[in-house]
Amino acid sequence: MTGPDCLFCKIAAGDVPATLVHADAQVVAFRDINPQAPVHVLVVPRKHVSSLDEARGADDSLLGGMLLVARDIARREGLADRGYRTVLNVGDEGGQTVHHIHLHVLGGRAMGWPPG
């Protein structure tokens, strides 16, 4: 599923509304519609990559950029000192439900380990 059929492509294009917390040439970030923590933001590349397993070597700066955007959002949301979690679900057993790569930023409560 790509382009016009993909929910996160639609959000990145502004065709589906979301509460954006960041937008630049490569990446958008918005609040999760079903938050699992007081802060739950999704960092999403504008380019459609269906999962980490589909990422290419040439996507290295895109993937690194997603992490740095996550870091900046965590700082802005006041999470840097107390800590937070980033999660990248991959495939069925990884719990991925939207097949456009996205990095979860979760914080504002203590996280358990191991994850479910």
- Report the interface residues with Zn ion, using CB under 5 A: 6, 8-9, 48, 100
Binding test (CB under 6 A) with ligand 5GP, winner from 49, 85, 89, 105: 89
Q: Residue 58 CA to chain centroid, in angstroms?
A: 19
Give whichever of 9 and 28 is closer to Zn ion, judged by the CB atom. 9
* Binding of residue 7 to ligand 5GP (CB under 6 A): yes
Q: Determine contact, residues 31/19, Cβ cutoff 8 Å.
A: yes
Whether 22 sits among the annotated catalytic residues: the reply is no
12-71 residues in contact with ligand 5GP (CB under 6 A) are 18, 30-34, 42
Give the integer Cα–Cα distance in Å for 113 and 27.
29
* Binding of residue 116 to ligand 5GP (CB under 6 A): no
Give the integer Cα–Cα distance in Å for 15 and 79.
30
87 CB burial (10 A radius; 0-12, 13-18, 19+)? middle
Give whichever of 37 and 42 is closer to Zn ion, judged by the CB atom. 42
Catalytic residue positions?
Answer: 102
